[in-house]
Every structure is written in structure tokens, then in C-alpha cells.
Structure 1
Amino acid sequence: MSIKDRVAVITGAGRGIGRATAERFAREGASLVLFSRTPEHLDETRALVERQGGRVLAIAGDVAREEDVEHLFQQARAHYGRVDILINSAGIVAVRSFREMDTATWDRVLAVNLRGTFLCCREAFRLMAEQGQGVIINISSLSGVKGVEKFPGLSAYNVSKAGVASLTEILALEGKAHNIRVCAVSPGAVDTDMLRQAAPHLKPGMSAQDMAEILLFLADDSGRLLSGTNLEIYSNA
């Protein structure tokens, strides 16, 4: 299948990888459900998609809030009747040495990056199991990959992304019976606001648009053999 006329839910759609993916998927003819915490960023992405003639439903909310995620998928189903693709792009980072790490910061990073991915995967998984097909793609990071260089201050972020990769692996196993493909992508330095916040010394080796092309490949029939894959991207500037 191509993604033309398929329904794609994209979290973190207000900027960065999520926004670039929304624009790319719209050009391929997908019907979009965009989700973001920040209404003004969400409105900007929606306007970009609509100018390309894309079909789009925009919903503001927090992936870490169970009721917000349930509402997201209820609205997606009510509006389009189905969900074919989920791109879990929402994420945050906090730079703090472990000695100074407070519980609230730790909990918030894990809540958005890992709990949020879990909540969205669960709702999508349930719908896709009823449909008998679907694709879920989670954004992890090289920060969560064993043996890759780590940077001080990112303990919560690293742990959350390692959890995303592990969640992806087990969901790919459980998804086989329902024809649900589940993959993760673990990029290195991507040119986004998050990178500039987390590691301004790093020179990005890829753009958000580059990532969107990879997500498109995985979401359509080209990636049909890659369920369970954690695609590690060691890009160099």
C-alpha cells in the first residue's frame, strides 16, 4: 500500500520532526490527525498542510494525559472512521546533571517520552487490531542505544528513549497476530529546537525533512518487512 488516503495520527506535530512529517505525508495524500500541546504551533502546522490541499484534523493535548490521548483517538475515529498509521514524535528533553536531578523533572521527561508513547500505542493498537492492520512508528534516539556516546545531563532522556525502543520490540511481537507493524527510528543529531536545547555543541547531520522521508518509507509498503526494527541512524554532518 501507499499512504494515499490512509489516516495518519502524528504526535508532536507542532514543530520539528512532527511538522515535517505532517507536510510530507500530506503531499502523499494521507489524511492527517495532528496532535500537540501548543495550540499556536499546531495551528501553524495545520495551515501549512491545508495550503497543500491536505485533509487535516488538529487536536491540542498532552500525550502524558490518558484522557487527552483517549480523546485524540476517539476524535480520529469519529472523523475518519479508522486509524492506519501512528507516528509517535512527541518528546521533550531536560538537561540536568544527575546529582541535581529532581523528581519532578525526571517524572515529566519519562511521562512525555515513554508514558506518552505507551498511551498512544495502546489506543492505536486497539483500533488497529479491530481493523486487522496498521503501522506504528516510534521515535527513539541514539541516546537510548547501548554503546553509543552519551552526553552529561541527559539521564532522564536516555532512559526514556531506551524504554521506547524496548516497548517497540514487544509491540512488534504482539502485533503480528493482528497484522500491525511496529518500528522505531533512533536518529542521532537532527536539526531541531530540541537538539539546540539539549546539545547545542552538536552539529546536526540531518534535517527534520530527512527524518520525514525515512518515516514515509517505513509507513508505506516499502517498509513492510521491517516490523520490530529499531533503525539506528548514524548521520554525519
Structure 2
Amino acid sequence: MENKKIIITGTSRGIGFELALLFANAGHQVLAISRKTKNELIEHQNITCLTIDISNSNEIKQVEKFINESWQNKVDIVIHNAGLLVNRPFEHLTTEDFEKVYKVNVFAVAELTQICIPFMQKGSHVVTISSMGGIQGSMKFPGLAAYSSSKGAVITLSELLAEEYKEKGIAFNVLALGAVNTEMLQEAFPGYEAPLSPKEMADYIFDFSLNGNKYYNGKVLQVSSSTP
């Protein structure tokens, strides 16, 4: 398999961390983006770590500089994995809460995609990690108004971009994940044990990112073995 140039956000822990290692160990070049970085990623020869806040427009522009200088103007796969979750009753959610969640879960997805599009060729794949909470008609959980609505927004965004860029051969797909036993889930729902580990979900996303665009474009796949 041809080695790919892959950008992954939210690599400090959980699914993103496992994904970065999976791709790098398979010989692909990875740009791992997060606010904090573990030594396992820093020390890997196939991983470049970019320690930035993707909700900051000035900082996210560093991605373009890196692609120009280090990757010969080419990106094969972008995985929008970073996410921010606020669990709070709707009456107590502030405008600032919504803005904070949407800056990471929606605006950064759009901005990073805009940066990468000029460097993507036919056969490239943009994978956005959404949530079952963002699926219309799915079971919803109190306290997640900002989070779930943001995950619904990126589903629609991905569907639209798939149509807008289909002539260029760039595929856009969404994986709407069910519960995965990540640190973020434990912080939001202490004591809840999800059926899948971050490594197990990363294995699935790894394969889908490399091959899913052969079968899907503009699709939302529900990846959930349980409710929630």
C-alpha cells in the first residue's frame, strides 16, 4: 500500500492517540494535532506533532505552513477527530459554552478543511468523527445540547462538501460513533463503562479512512453497538 500523508486532530489521548500510532506504525506519515502531546507520538519517526489550539484561527494556519514546507503540498487523508463536550442542563448553558463547543467541533472542522482542500487530489478522503447524538431521530441525552447539536452540524457540512467537491474526486464521509470508553466520556459520565475501547474504535476508523472512500461519499455511517 502506498504510504499516505494523514492529518489527525485530537491526538493527545483516546481514539486520536491510537489512530496516530496505528497509521505511523503502518508506515504512513502523520501530522498529529492537539494542545498536548504524549512522548510516544513525539518520538515516533513517522509522526510530526503540532501543538496548537485548533479553535484559534491564527494557530491553525500553522498547518498550511507545515504542508507547504514538509509534505510537498500534498494531503491524502484528514481525520477530524478532536471534540469538546460540555455536559450541563440547557438552562445553565451560556452563549460562551456554545461558542466554545462549536469552535472545536464545527468551526475548526470547516477551517482545517479549507486549508487542506488545495492540497488534496483525486482519491483523497476527509473523515469527520461525529456522534450518534448528532443523528436526527436518534436517542438524545439531557445535558448535551451544545455537543449533540454541533455533531449534527458537521454531518450536514460533510454531506454538502461531498457534493461540492465530487468532481475533484475528494470524498467526505462521517462516522457517527456510539459510546467509546474514552477519558472524555468518563469525564462527562463518571462510572459509565462503554462497550468499546479507544483502540478498538481506532482500528475501525483506520481501515475506513484508507478504504471507505472507495465505497462511500457524502455518507453518514452509524458506528454503534449499544445505546448510548
Instruction: Output the TM-score relative to the length of structure 1.
Output: 0.89
Hey, what does 2:118 align to over in structure 1?
126
**Deviation string, structure 1 residues 3-54 (Cα, Å, up to 9, x no partner):** x42100111011111101001111221101111012xxx1434146x1xxx4
In the alignment, structure 2 segments of 5+ residues that lack a partner are none
Give the match for residue 232 of structure 1: 222
Measure, in 1, the Cα distance between the counterparts of 2:77 and 2:140.
31
**Alpha carbons 1:13, 1:90 under 8 Å: kept:** yes
Alpha-carbon offset, residue 156 of structure 1: 0.2
Aligned match of 1:78: 69
**Distance between the aligned counterparts of 2:175 and 2:59, measured in 1?**
25
For 2:205 and 2:165, the matched residues in 1 are separated by: 19
Shift of 1:69: 1.7
The structure in which a higher percent of residues are helix is 1
The answer to whether the aligner puts 1:94 opposite 2:92 as a matched pair is: no
Match of 1:173 among 143, 146, 163: 163
- CA shift at 1:77, angstroms? 3.0
Name the structure 1 match of 2:11.
13
Contact kept, 8 Å, 1:10 with 1:32, in 2: the verdict is: yes
Identify which of 35, 54, 57 aligns with 1:63.
54
Which residue pairs with 2:103 in the alignment? Answer: 111
Q: Secondary structure at the match of 2:60?
A: helix
Paired residue secondary structure (1:14): coil
Alignment of 1:143 onto 2:141: no
Cα shift readout 1:130-163 (whole Å, capped 9, x = no counterpart):
x344111001000101122111111000110001
- Distance in 2 between residues matched to 1:8 and 1:77, nearest whole Å: 14
Q: Is the 8 A contact 1:14 1:45 kept in 2?
A: no
Gaps of 5+ in 1: none
Whole-angstrom distance in 2 between the partners of 1:216 and 1:103: 35
The equivalent residue for 1:23 is: 21
Aligned residues: 226
What do you get for the CA RMSD once the two structures are aligned? 1.7
Deviation at 1:202? 3.5
Deviates further, 17-26 or 193-202? 193-202
Using the size of structure 2 for normalisation, the TM-score is 0.92
Distance 2:226 2:48 in 1: 36
Q: Please say if residues 125 and 213 of structure 2, whose CA atoms lie closer than 8 Å, have aligned partners that are also in contact.
A: no
- Superposed displacement of residue 203, structure 1: 2.6
Amino acid aligned to 1:29: G
How far, CA to CA, are the matches of 1:43 and 1:8 in structure 2?
Answer: 18
Structure 1 residue runs of 4 or more that deviate by more than 3 Å after TM superposition: none
Partner of 1:46: 41
User: How many percent of aligned residue pairs carry the same amino acid?
Assistant: 28
